[in-house]
Structure 1
Amino acid sequence: MAKVNLEKIKKLRKLAGYSLEEMSKFLGYESTNGYYYLECGRGKISAESLAQIAHILKVDIKELFFEIKIAKMATSESASTA
Protein backbone atom coordinates (compact mmCIF):
# COMPACT_ATOMS: atom_id res chain seq x y z
CA MET A 1 0.00 0.00 0.00
CA ALA A 2 1.43 3.36 -1.03
CA LYS A 3 1.70 6.10 1.55
CA VAL A 4 1.24 9.81 0.98
CA ASN A 5 4.43 11.81 1.53
CA LEU A 6 3.14 14.66 3.71
CA GLU A 7 6.57 16.31 3.97
CA LYS A 8 6.79 16.44 0.18
CA ILE A 9 3.32 18.00 -0.04
CA LYS A 10 4.38 20.65 2.48
CA LYS A 11 7.62 21.31 0.59
CA LEU A 12 5.82 21.59 -2.76
CA ARG A 13 3.20 23.92 -1.25
CA LYS A 14 5.92 26.21 0.08
CA LEU A 15 7.81 26.12 -3.23
CA ALA A 16 4.59 27.09 -5.02
CA GLY A 17 4.23 30.00 -2.60
CA TYR A 18 0.91 28.94 -1.09
CA SER A 19 0.06 29.50 2.56
CA LEU A 20 -1.92 27.05 4.68
CA GLU A 21 -4.82 29.50 4.50
CA GLU A 22 -4.73 29.58 0.68
CA MET A 23 -4.65 25.78 0.43
CA SER A 24 -7.55 25.57 2.88
CA LYS A 25 -9.61 27.91 0.71
CA PHE A 26 -8.69 26.06 -2.50
CA LEU A 27 -9.93 22.81 -0.95
CA GLY A 28 -13.10 24.36 0.44
CA TYR A 29 -12.28 24.38 4.15
CA GLU A 30 -13.80 27.10 6.31
CA SER A 31 -10.70 27.37 8.49
CA THR A 32 -6.98 26.90 8.02
CA ASN A 33 -7.04 23.95 10.42
CA GLY A 34 -8.90 21.80 7.89
CA TYR A 35 -5.98 21.68 5.51
CA TYR A 36 -3.34 21.89 8.24
CA TYR A 37 -4.66 18.66 9.79
CA LEU A 38 -4.26 16.90 6.43
CA GLU A 39 -0.74 18.15 5.88
CA CYS A 40 0.48 17.24 9.37
CA GLY A 41 -1.17 13.80 9.36
CA ARG A 42 -3.89 14.47 11.93
CA GLY A 43 -6.56 13.90 9.29
CA LYS A 44 -6.87 11.43 6.42
CA ILE A 45 -6.54 12.75 2.89
CA SER A 46 -9.28 11.47 0.60
CA ALA A 47 -8.43 10.47 -2.96
CA GLU A 48 -10.42 13.47 -4.19
CA SER A 49 -8.51 15.90 -1.95
CA LEU A 50 -5.20 14.36 -2.98
CA ALA A 51 -6.13 14.83 -6.65
CA GLN A 52 -7.05 18.46 -5.94
CA ILE A 53 -3.77 19.05 -4.10
CA ALA A 54 -1.81 17.57 -7.02
CA HIS A 55 -3.72 19.83 -9.43
CA ILE A 56 -3.14 22.95 -7.30
CA LEU A 57 0.57 22.16 -6.94
CA LYS A 58 0.81 21.29 -10.66
CA VAL A 59 2.32 17.84 -10.12
CA ASP A 60 1.30 14.32 -11.07
CA ILE A 61 -0.55 12.67 -8.20
CA LYS A 62 2.14 9.95 -8.15
CA GLU A 63 4.63 12.60 -6.98
CA LEU A 64 2.73 12.89 -3.69
CA PHE A 65 3.53 9.34 -2.60
CA PHE A 66 6.69 7.86 -1.13
CA GLU A 67 8.85 6.11 -3.71
CA ILE A 68 8.59 2.36 -3.50
CA LYS A 69 11.92 0.63 -3.93
CA ILE A 70 10.72 -2.81 -4.97
CA ALA A 71 13.82 -3.64 -7.01
CA LYS A 72 16.09 -2.98 -4.05
CA MET A 73 13.90 -5.09 -1.73
CA ALA A 74 13.81 -7.94 -4.26
CA THR A 75 17.59 -7.85 -4.62
CA SER A 76 18.07 -7.92 -0.83
CA GLU A 77 15.67 -10.86 -0.42
CA SER A 78 17.31 -12.95 -3.14
CA ALA A 79 20.76 -12.31 -1.66
CA SER A 80 19.65 -13.42 1.81
CA THR A 81 18.06 -16.66 0.52
CA ALA A 82 21.11 -17.71 -1.49
Structure 2
Amino acid sequence: MNTRLRNARRAKGLTQEEMAKLLGYQSKSGYSMIETGRNRPPLPVALRIAQIVDQEVGQLFPADEVQSS
Protein backbone atom coordinates (compact mmCIF):
# COMPACT_ATOMS: atom_id res chain seq x y z
CA MET A 1 0.00 0.00 0.00
CA ASN A 2 1.35 3.40 -0.96
CA THR A 3 0.11 5.38 2.02
CA ARG A 4 1.95 8.52 0.87
CA LEU A 5 -0.05 8.47 -2.35
CA ARG A 6 -3.33 7.67 -0.63
CA ASN A 7 -2.85 10.47 1.90
CA ALA A 8 -1.90 12.99 -0.81
CA ARG A 9 -4.99 12.05 -2.85
CA ARG A 10 -7.26 12.34 0.16
CA ALA A 11 -5.71 15.68 1.14
CA LYS A 12 -6.80 16.98 -2.28
CA GLY A 13 -10.31 15.66 -1.65
CA LEU A 14 -10.15 13.22 -4.56
CA THR A 15 -11.56 9.72 -4.73
CA GLN A 16 -9.80 6.88 -6.51
CA GLU A 17 -12.45 7.12 -9.22
CA GLU A 18 -11.73 10.83 -9.74
CA MET A 19 -7.99 10.19 -9.90
CA ALA A 20 -8.55 7.46 -12.46
CA LYS A 21 -10.57 9.82 -14.66
CA LEU A 22 -7.93 12.56 -14.37
CA LEU A 23 -5.32 10.02 -15.50
CA GLY A 24 -7.44 8.82 -18.43
CA TYR A 25 -8.28 5.37 -17.05
CA GLN A 26 -11.62 3.86 -18.01
CA SER A 27 -12.23 2.59 -14.48
CA LYS A 28 -10.77 3.15 -11.06
CA SER A 29 -9.09 -0.26 -10.98
CA GLY A 30 -6.06 0.92 -12.98
CA TYR A 31 -5.37 3.69 -10.50
CA SER A 32 -6.32 1.56 -7.50
CA MET A 33 -3.70 -1.01 -8.45
CA ILE A 34 -1.04 1.72 -8.36
CA GLU A 35 -2.18 2.98 -4.98
CA THR A 36 -2.32 -0.49 -3.46
CA GLY A 37 1.13 -1.34 -4.83
CA ARG A 38 0.02 -4.10 -7.20
CA ASN A 39 1.30 -2.16 -10.23
CA ARG A 40 4.22 0.23 -10.58
CA PRO A 41 3.26 3.28 -12.62
CA PRO A 42 5.17 4.22 -15.75
CA LEU A 43 7.18 7.41 -15.24
CA PRO A 44 4.77 9.64 -17.23
CA VAL A 45 1.86 8.43 -15.07
CA ALA A 46 3.83 8.93 -11.86
CA LEU A 47 4.68 12.47 -12.96
CA ARG A 48 1.03 13.22 -13.76
CA ILE A 49 -0.11 11.85 -10.39
CA ALA A 50 2.44 14.04 -8.62
CA GLN A 51 1.21 17.04 -10.57
CA ILE A 52 -2.43 16.36 -9.68
CA VAL A 53 -1.72 16.10 -5.95
CA ASP A 54 0.89 18.91 -5.92
CA GLN A 55 3.72 16.72 -4.64
CA GLU A 56 7.19 15.86 -5.88
CA VAL A 57 7.25 12.50 -7.63
CA GLY A 58 10.06 11.34 -5.33
CA GLN A 59 7.89 12.00 -2.29
CA LEU A 60 5.16 9.75 -3.61
CA PHE A 61 7.17 7.03 -5.34
CA PRO A 62 10.64 5.83 -4.38
CA ALA A 63 12.71 5.15 -7.50
CA ASP A 64 12.14 1.39 -7.30
CA GLU A 65 8.36 1.88 -7.40
CA VAL A 66 8.30 3.53 -10.84
CA GLN A 67 8.76 1.82 -14.19
CA SER A 68 11.50 3.54 -16.13
CA SER A 69 10.14 2.50 -19.52
Question: Shorter-chain TM-score category?
Answer: 0.7 to 0.9
Task: Tell me the equivalent position of 1:10.
Answer: 6
Instruction: Give SS of 2:8's match.
Output: helix
Choose which of 25, 31, 39 in structure 1 pairs with 2:21. 25
The residue identity in structure 2 corresponding to 1:52 is R
**Number of aligned residues:** 62
The residue identity in structure 1 corresponding to 2:38 is R
Unaligned regions of 5+ residues in structure 2, if any?
Answer: 63-69
TM-superposition CA deviations, 1:6-42 (whole Å, max 9, x none): 1100011011100000000011100011100110011
Q: Does 2:55 match 1:59?
A: yes
**Equivalent residues of 2:46, 2:61 under 8 A apart:** no
Q: Which has the larger radius of gyration?
A: 1
The residue identity in structure 2 corresponding to 1:32 is K
Cα separation, 2, equivalents of 1:13 and 1:65: 13
Percentage of matched positions with identical amino acids: 32
Cα separation, 2, equivalents of 1:58 and 1:15: 10
RMSD, matched Cα: 1.5
Unaligned regions of 5+ residues in structure 1, if any?
Answer: 67-82
With normalisation by structure 1, the TM-score equals 0.69
Which aligned segments of 4 or more residues in structure 1 are displaced greater than 2 angstroms? none
